[in-house]
Amino acid sequence: MIENLWSLTGVLCVAGLTFLLGFVGSRRANTTPDFLVARRAIPTSRNAAAISGEYLSAASFLGVAGLVLKDGADALWFPIGFTAGYLALMLFVAAPLRRSGAYTLPDFAEARLGSTTLRHFCTFFVVCIGVLYLVPQLQSAGLTLTTITGLPGWIGGVVVIVVVVVNVLGGGMRAITLVQAFQYWGKLFAIAAPTFVLFAVFLSNPSNGSRPLTDEGAPRFTETARVVLQEPVVLDVHEPTRLEATGTVEGSPVDGPVYWAPGRTYRVGTGTELVFAPGTPVPVVDGSPSTNAEWLRAENDGLSGMFETYSLIFATFLGTMGLPHVLVRFYTNPDGRAARRTAMHVIYLLGLFYVFPLILGVLSREYLPRLLVHGRTDAAVLLLPGEMLPNVFGQILGAIVAAGAFAAFLSTSSGLVVSVAGVVSTDLLPGKVRDFRWATLFTGAVAIGLALLLPRSDASLTVAVSFALAASTFCPLLVLGIWWRKLTWVGAVWGLCVGGGLVLSALVVNVVSSFTGDWAPDVLLQPALITVPIAFATMIAVSRATARRLPEDVNTILLRLHAPDPLGFIQDRDVQRFGTAEERASQGRRRSR
Amino acid sequence: MSTTESSSAGSDPTAPDPDAQKWIELQQSPDFVELRARLRKFVFPATGLFLAWYVLYVLLADYAHEFMATKVVGNINVGLILGLLQFVSTFALTTLYVRYANKRLDPAAEKIRTEVEGSAP
């Protein structure tokens, strides 16, 4: 179909452009010292755009709209949490962390507590968080490519990881702040332009033959919808529904018209085709609000719903500070004060971006109810332009969105692969350039392996698990490390292991349960509300018990973290190693003469 | 920009250099204590307030359905408005903090700096 051709061209353009920029970037020799030199000259606003560009991933670009379509008001928490995380980062860690001169989380841990054992544990969790964050990116790439071309799901993920790994190996995408900043504005355009156009279409033709969202009942199909299920689902039926089904329902084969009774759930097998006539109420995937009234209202399921929501808030609010690819970028700030300002700009930029997926999510509820049937709501943003504007214009908008989505996967994945590989190569291998390359291959291989192995879930939900892991490991380490002088390395190791271990176990139980009939309680989906306090408590308790292990220079270190920037207590390891920007610049001039 | 100062303090921080003594004195100086107190006075209450505001919303959404479903304008109910206010409040707190830092923290830091540099040989 010509529609696919447009979108495919968009995706190929983005991939090609990424390659090209990586190639140009690598020719300009982006080594660590160059990166460091660059940072003195980068204006705060551009740095903030670069952070946002790298941060806005599949979860933001596709996931938020998808969850709004499915869960309605409750999904508002995702964009709020993704943004508010930077508030916590700014209040607690931005400036002191920048002053510590640490380049990565393991660096910080070692500088603050002087333990290589702790450093290795930190490295392990950086890898876990990074890989967990990569998985939904790759899976969403698969979903995107399947949606626009019908190719099998694994191809998209493989394409993204290959582009990223080859690029990182070539040295591109590493330090190019300008490219990442451009990424932000590109993504903003890719989601804002379709939103404006589609919203105008909606305003000019608000009814579209459907019942408005103000209607309290179940959403309804506006035209004949044919849904083929690619995985088994359990559907929640709220109103009497007549449809045609071919395949398996409730374990027995069906072929022809069926009647589904209200208030029941139906188990529908893989490969089943469901055909709904216009005006039929939409059955939704079990667990999502089944009526528009519930959809518009936040919270419906009492204590467990409340736990889930607050747990998510906790994870995103406290987890952002522990994400490896975010932290590296903060290092490009010249001092603590600039780090503070950058965080503020990031919050504004992210807030601006998230307006658009929210609107697209609401529009999809009106125009794409069929996504509610198979639950693959992450595709909403991709399909909406073609659905609302079935002409060349819609196809072009669709291509813009698809290209933006791919840009999101590529930039976030690059940032993650670079930071994970950097940590692995410096900590576990001797840290030469060749080791960095092996580490890159290793990270890419593990990520794509897991992406193919693990069952696909909504991108935002999967990403939220890595936020939970970051919040249960690095948040206590950073907050206590910066604000509590009695932290010891033993306490830190115990806290990391207990907090991180709990989140990882919850994840494993969830995966096992999803293969064996979904028996795991909802609490395990987002355990941060329990695991974060436990991690904090463990760190404090063990540190008190091992008080004699306090580092001797704790006062000096804490002073350095909290001393005002103008005093010049910044101790950059890399500045020591490579010299300051000015020194290097003058050396460079001398060499060129 | 602090490159000149950072290169002067660029030696190993654990080594017992004359600087270290100066730092410890500085840390105990009333100005520095005041600076840290100001920072703490903002950061911790602000975080507490913010998390409490989130809890309030979640609690209201769960146990005050009637109130949250009260329609204000057309189809917009109290719940949605409060939800959007969460966004607004995030921006507000961010701006407040940056202002506070610029007004109350940076001048204090500047003062300490001039004192240190004034007393430097």
What are the tens digits of pLDDT across the range A57-116?
888 888 889 888 888 877 888 888 888 888 888 888 888 887 777 777 888 888 888 888
Give the residue on A whose Cα is nearest the Cα of B43. Answer: A91
Nearest CA of chain A to the CA of B47: how many Å? Answer: 8
Nearest CA of chain A to the CA of B14: how many Å? Answer: 6
Nearest CA of chain B to the CA of A549: how many Å? Answer: 16
Say whether B6 and A214 touch across the interface (CB within 8 A). no
The pLDDT of residue A309 is: 83
Say whether B93 and A298 touch across the interface (CB within 8 A). no
Computed over every residue of chain A, the mean pLDDT equals 80
Say whether A569 and B65 touch across the interface (CB within 8 A). no
Q: Is the model's pLDDT at A173 over the cut of 70?
A: no
Computed over every residue of chain B, the mean pLDDT equals 71
pTM confidence score: 0.83
Exposure b/e, A133-158, CB count within 10 A at least 16 = b: bbbbbbbbbbbbbbbbbeeebbebbb
Nearest beta carbon to residue A299 from set B1, B50, B62: B62
What are the tens digits of pLDDT across the range A478-517?
999 988 888 999 999 999 999 999 999 998 888 888 777 7
Say whether B24 and A555 touch across the interface (CB within 8 A). yes
The pLDDT of residue A583 is: 46
Cα angle for residues A583, A585, A591 (degrees, 5° grid) = 105
Cβ-based contacts of A40 with chain B (< 8 Å): 1, 3
Q: Is the model's pLDDT at A398 over the cut of 60?
A: yes
Largest CA distance in chain A: 85
Q: Is the model's pLDDT at A536 over the cut of 60?
A: yes
Give the residue on B whose Cα is nearest the Cα of A339. Answer: B98
DSSP 8-state symbol, A211: P
CATH 1.20.1730.10 intervals, chain A: 2-202+311-455
Nearest CA of chain A to the CA of B73: how many Å? Answer: 13
A185 contacts A372 by C-beta, under 8 angstroms: no
All structural domains of chain B with their residue ranges: 30-119
The pLDDT of residue A490 is: 92
What are the tens digits of pLDDT across the range A5-27?
888 888 888 888 877 776 666 55
Nearest beta carbon to residue B101 from set A309, A335, A340: A340
Which of A112, A366, A559 should we substitute to test contact with B (largest number of B Cβ atoms within 10 Å)? Answer: A559
Say whether A570 and B2 touch across the interface (CB within 8 A). yes
Flag whether the ipTM exceeds 0.95. Answer: no
The pLDDT of residue A150 is: 78
The pLDDT of residue A164 is: 85
- The closest alpha carbon to A377, from A153, A59, A155, belongs to A59
What are the tens digits of pLDDT across the range A266-300?
888 888 888 888 888 888 887 777 777 777 766 65
Residue A584 pLDDT class (50, 70, 90 cuts): very low
The pLDDT of residue B116 is: 64
Please count the residues of chain B. 121
The mean pLDDT value for B85-101 works out to 85
Residue B120 pLDDT class (50, 70, 90 cuts): very low
Which of B84, B90, B106 should we substitute to test contact with A (largest number of A Cβ atoms within 10 Å)? Answer: B90
Nearest beta carbon to residue A571 from set B9, B86, B98: B9
Token pair 């096992």: residue: A512
Q: Is A105 exposed, middle or buried (0-12, 13-18, 19+ CB in 10 A)?
A: buried
DSSP character string of A214-257: TS-S--B-SS-EEEE-SS-EEEEE-S-EEEEEEEEETTEEEEEE
The mean pLDDT value for A371-379 works out to 84
Nearest CA of chain B to the CA of A355: how many Å? Answer: 10
Give the residue on B whose Cα is nearest the Cα of A86. Answer: B94
Residue A349 pLDDT class (50, 70, 90 cuts): very high
Say whether A297 and B68 touch across the interface (CB within 8 A). yes
What are the tens digits of pLDDT across the range B18-61?
556 666 677 677 877 888 788 888 888 888 888 888 888 878 87
Handedness of CA A504, A231, A146, A400 (dihedral sign): negative
A265 contact partners, CB below 8 Å, separation of at least 6: A234, A235, A236, A237, A286
A468 contact partners, CB below 8 Å, separation of at least 6: A311, A315, A319, A503, A526, A527, A528, A531
Number of A to B CB contacts under 8 A, please give it: 162
Q: Is the model's pLDDT at A578 over the cut of 50?
A: no
The pLDDT of residue A101 is: 73
Cβ-based contacts of B62 with chain A (< 8 Å): 299, 302-303, 305-306
- Rounded-to-integer distance, Cα A35 and Cα A157, Å: 29
Give the residue on B whose Cα is nearest the Cα of A75. Answer: B83
Q: Is the model's pLDDT at A172 over the cut of 50?
A: no
Say whether B5 and A87 touch across the interface (CB within 8 A). no
Q: What is the CATH number of domain A2-202+311-455?
A: 1.20.1730.10
Segments in A56-115 forming alpha helices (H): 58, 64-71, 77-88, 95-100, 105-113
Give the residue on A whose Cα is nearest the Cα of B116. Answer: A567
Nearest CA of chain A to the CA of B121: how many Å? Answer: 15
Cβ-based contacts of B115 with chain A (< 8 Å): none
Nearest beta carbon to residue B27 from set A309, A351, A559: A559
What are the tens digits of pLDDT across the range A111-160?
888 888 999 999 999 999 999 999 999 999 888 888 888 788 788 889 88
Amino acid at A497: C
Q: Is the model's pLDDT at A34 over the cut of 90?
A: no
3-state helix, strand, coil in chain A (%, to 5): 70, 5, 20
Query: Which percentage of chain A shows pLDDT scores above 70?
Result: 85
Q: Is the model's pLDDT at A242 over the cut of 70?
A: yes
DSSP character string of B65-96: HHHHH-EEETTEEHHHHHHHHHHHHHHHHHHH
